[in-house]
Structure 1
Amino acid sequence: MRNEISTIIELSEANFYSNCILGYGHFNSIHPGHIRYLKHAREINKLFVVAILKDLSCEGLIFNQTERANSLAQLGIADAIILLPDNSLNKAVKKINPKEVILGKEYENSELEDIKETIKTLHKTKKSIFFHAGEISYASSELLTISEDNLKNKREKEFLKALERQNITVDCLREASKNIKKSNLIVIGDSILDQYTACEAIGMSAEAPVIVVKELDQKNFLGGASIVASHISSIGSSCKFISIIGNDGEGSWIRNSLKENSVISELIIDQSRPTTFKKRYLVENQKLFRVSRLDDHMITKEMTKLILNKVESLSCESEGIVISDFAYGLISDELIEGLEKCAKKNNLKLYGDSQSSSQIGDILRMKNFTLLCPNEKEARIAMNNKDIGLDELCRKLMDKTNCQNLIMKLGANGFVVYSKSLNNSLQIQAFPALSVNPVDVSGAGDTLLSIMATGMCNESSIMKIAALACCGASIAVDTMGNNPIDIDKVLNKAIQIISKN
């Protein structure tokens, strides 16, 4: 039976693990991708040892080997953490003589001499080697094994560890929340009317296997890019919103709601399509199904030119452009190209999100952005790779899009921030999902994008803004429907977590 905390030893002391499976890496900032890898190794062999790389400035490591080993040991997944003295995996294999070695998928065709020599050594001694990043899951099953209260405490402690690792104090968060209110942004994207219809379950139809419900009440909410604009305005920043609507009642409702939320909007009526409308049917807090009314053909060249002209006219008084693409035809390749040119010309930052739930989007269309916010499934589809580890996926995505910062959304497992430094090394930090039993997850990504864009406009530290976004997303999912966020409530949530722990 292993201890709750792994043992940390020098390689010279590793004489008793010849039947183990050996893992390997630097583990600069522990996140869900690492945990997948570690748990998968544990499933292969109950005796599990991890060799951890020493400090290398060229890798952009912000924590030394001992600090990284201690963080890994706290997870208690491995039996022992071995401190490599010279970063040679091959020497470690010869010293430990493990039964198996497990490496990330990115090492399978590695040109690194040490890795190639390690593979030769293992083949020569007839030992097994696996290349696997762990099982990918887009949901969490933790509530099956841990109580809601305990899971909440666990995630709050993870949040506090993230703050500690990034030297983020309450004063830092207060200052960041003040700066958030000083931004001036243009938001472009699909306008959606989200309607929630509360129902009473009557039973099963006698004529066919169909659930019968009785409508009780309904409520409309802003959705898509229109709620992103409303979040930004509610935070206290200035926001100009450009979108298209149909010549219908739903479009009029969106226009009036944006006005009530103090959003300055430029809504172009497209006679060729209805306003995108989504109706969700619920019994209690359970969603039964959704009905969508939409037309997702791409906008015309004339409309693209009209939108770009509006953006250009607003650029002189703006600091950034937020593109919230739900893949319903507004964000065309031509429009993205024009927005990138406009941003470069006027020194504006670009913030982007391409959501692909029931539709097909492509985050790779967004190049040279200050920030991109895909979820893991969207990123893997875009990169056409379901096997590589999370860190390698994000590195490749950042290289391909040339974005400066990336937030990889992991659903119930929170999100991971990747930020390039001046020397192109990556700073990485995971933040947990603070809400353990959410009511409605549909607004988390919109809230995160809104807080990140407003915060980063004023040169605030990405990690400080991410900490606030973590709290904001948890508030968003604890109520039904998408409601404009209050940044003071977000700050208070962070302070409450810090105060009680």
Structure 2
Amino acid sequence: MTLSNVEKIFGNFKDKKILVIGDIILDRYIFGKVMRISPEAPVPVVEVYEEQYRLGGAANVANNIIALGGKVYLCGIIGKGSAGRIVRDLLTERGIQQDFIFDDIRRTTVKTRIIGGNQQIVRFDIEDRKRLEGKAKETFISMIKNGLNNFDAVIVSDYKKGVVSEELFRILVNHKKKNGSFVAVDPKVGHFRLYKQVSLITPNIVEASHGAEVEIKDEKTLIKAGFNLLKKLACDSVLITRGEEGMSLFEKQNSDVNVTHLPTVAKKVFDVTGAGDTVIATITLAYVAGASLVDAAKIANVAAGIVVGKIGTAAATKEEIMEVLKAHPYA
């Protein structure tokens, strides 16, 4: 993978349209300093100096595609309250298309993280995890059916908040079979049965262990898990993200499976929040822009190394990725 090839791939990003389907989350960050312990209970007192709202979940996947210069449409639901309005404002600010988003009576999922210095002290969530039913489900499914032909790839960002369903995957897989479309999934434990016959899934170690029913503790069990997932799900490829150990790509090639291990490129790890969003956004966009899946995984690996060096939900840019590749080029 030469730098000139990467530049060519990056140049194609602007022409690619990705549909991101999934659970939209609002990430709220409260930053402060911890100077003392409360006299009321053995807990730290945080003196707040800043509050930020960021796009999370499927919205962060879309945000990562925008940061890389691609075109993205986000498909999901948000509540009608103040959190939903903040999400829409953030999407507008980032230039993320909202044609496939609709308001529902359910609450918008909000994850609040309190940060003291560079350390997350506590997180509390407000969410509604009921499955979509009735008119809401009909509207959601109809939007997807009517829009699939307009995109170069589909990413499903499953946070198990009620949006992802068996019916959704029937539609996506049928479209893949008829049109050869690329369908990538960021999975969640408990939903692996839904992901059969997709193009790519990107589980972390814990998710891969559950999905493959193999405890991953060394390279032998890692490879067994990757092969098990390919067989059980009949999918085309699996990218297992392994934290400080990097990533491992399992890719079907005719009757064989090609396995590629990618060492981590992260220099410092401050926060892994949203790293999976960055991985699936980057590998999908790079692949449909002309990279091989292995090269797309290499680019995604660099992007992940960049975002874990930032505090909170973040994204990597083409310029940041290129800077790393110039210093540490892949063969």
- TM class by smaller structure: over 0.9
Kindly provide the CA deviation profile for residues 328-364 of structure 1, in whole angstroms up to 9, marking residues without a partner as x.
1111222222332233344422110124xxxx54333
Measured against aligned partners, the alpha-carbon deviations of 1:52-79 in whole angstroms (never above 9, x if no partner) come to: xxxxxxxxxxxxxxxxxxxxxxxxxxxx
Amino acid at match of 1:471: V
Could you tell me how far apart the structure 2 residues matched to 1:406 and 1:382 are?
11
Task: List per-residue Cα deviations over 1:147-202 (Å, max 9, x = no partner).
Answer: xxxxxxxxxxxxxxxxxxxxx22223223322333322111011111111112213
Instruction: Name the counterpart of 2:182.
Output: 349
TM-score after normalising by structure 2: 0.92
Structure 1 match to 2:230: 398
Q: CA deviation at 1:301?
A: 4.3
1:299 is the counterpart of 2:132? yes
Residue 372 of structure 1 is matched in structure 2 by 201
1:291, CA displacement in angstroms?
A: 0.7
Between the aligned partners of 1:343 and 1:268, the Cα distance in structure 2 is 25
Query: Post-superposition shift, 1:366?
Result: 0.6
The 3-state SS of whatever aligns with 1:389 is helix
The Cα offsets for residues 201-224 of structure 1, whole Å up to 9 and x where unpaired, read as 132233332322222211111000
Unaligned segments of structure 1, at least 5 residues: 1-167
Letter in structure 1 aligned against 2:44: I
Determine if the alignment matches structure 1 residue 261 to structure 2 residue 261: no
Indicate the SS of the match to 1:498.
Answer: coil
How many Å separate the matches in 2 of 1:294 and 1:286?
Answer: 24
Do residues 407 (structure 1) and 236 (structure 2) align? Answer: no
**Mapped pair 1:491 → 2:325:** no
TM-score by length of 1: 0.62
Letter in 1 for 2:235: C
Q: In the comparison of the two structures, how many residue pairs are matched?
A: 327
Deviates more, 1:376-385 or 1:318-327: 376-385
Distance in 1 separating the partners of 2:138 and 2:247: 36
SS in 2 for 1:447: helix
Counterparts of 1:238 and 1:230, CA distance in 2: 10
Q: Give secondary structure in 1 for the equivalent of 2:273.
A: helix
Alignment counterpart, residue 475 of structure 1, candidates 300, 303, 306: 306
- Higher percent of residues as strand: 2
1:241 is aligned to 74
SS in 1 for 2:167: helix
CA distance in 1, matches of 2:315, 2:268: 21
SS at the partner of 1:181?
helix
**What is the rounded CA distance, in whole Å, between the counterparts of 2:39 and 2:153 in structure 1?**
57
Q: In structure 2, how many angstroms separate the alpha carbons of the residues matched to 1:486 and 1:219?
A: 21
Q: Within 1, Cα distance between the matches of 2:185 and 2:168? A: 13
- Cα distance in 2 for residues equivalent to 1:295 and 1:394: 32
Q: Secondary structure at the match of 2:15?
A: coil
In 2, Cα distance between the equivalents of 1:345 and 1:303?
A: 27
CA deviations over 1:449-475 (Å, ceiling 9, x no partner): 001111222442111111111111111
Partners of 2:109 and 2:202 in 1: how far apart?
23
Verify the 8 A CA contact 1:194 1:221 in the aligned structure 2. yes
Within a 5 Å distance, the mapping from 1:53-68 to structure 2 comes to: none
Structural mapping, 1:149-168, within 5 Å: 168=1
The 5 A counterparts of 1:64-79 are none
Residue number in structure 1 paired with 2:287? 456
Cross-structure match for 2:41 = 208
CA distances 1:213-262 after superposition (whole Å, capped 9, x unpaired): 22221111100000111211232222111111011111111112112212
- TM-fit CA distance, 1:405: 1.3
Equivalent position of 2:215 in the other structure: 386
CA distance in 1, matches of 2:46, 2:190: 33
Structure scoring higher RCO (CA < 8 A, sep ≥ 6) equals 2
User: What does the per-residue CA deviation read over 1:293-339, in whole Å, with 9 as the maximum and x for residues that have no partner?
Assistant: 11111111432332222122222221221100011111122222233
Query: Partner of 1:316: helix, strand, or coil?
Result: helix
Q: State percent identity of aligned pairs.
A: 26
What does residue 432 of structure 1 align with? 263
Q: What aligned pairs does 1:165-176 form with structure 2 within 5 A after superposition?
A: 168-176=1-9
- After superposition, what is the alpha-carbon deviation per residue over 1:7-28, rounded to whole angstroms, capped at 9, x for unaligned? xxxxxxxxxxxxxxxxxxxxxx
Aligned counterparts of 1:438 and 1:232: Cα–Cα separation in 2 = 22
Q: Whole-Å Cα distance in 1 between the matches of residues 103 and 151 of structure 2? A: 24
Asked if 2 retains the 8 angstrom alpha-carbon contact of 1:416 and 1:429, the reply is yes
Question: Conserved in 2, the CA contact under 8 Å of 1:304 and 1:335?
Answer: no
Measure the CA separation in 2 of the matches of 1:396 and 1:461.
23
For residues 491 and 369 of structure 1, the distance between their equivalents in structure 2, rounded to whole angstroms, comes to 30
**What are the ranges of 5 or more consecutive residues in structure 2 without an aligned counterpart?**
none
**Whose radius of gyration is greater, 1 or 2?**
1
Contact 1:323 1:351 in 2 (8 A): yes
Aligned AA (2:31) = A
**Matched residue type, 1:267:** I
Q: What residue in structure 2 maps to residue 362 of structure 1?
A: 191
Q: Secondary structure at the match of 2:172?
A: helix
The match for 1:219 among 49, 52, 60 is 52
Q: Please, what is the CA RMSD of the aligned residues?
A: 2.0
Q: Distance in 2 between matches of 1:206 and 1:219?
A: 28
Match of 2:291, SS?
Answer: coil
Establish whether residue 280 from structure 1 lines up as the match of residue 103 from structure 2: no
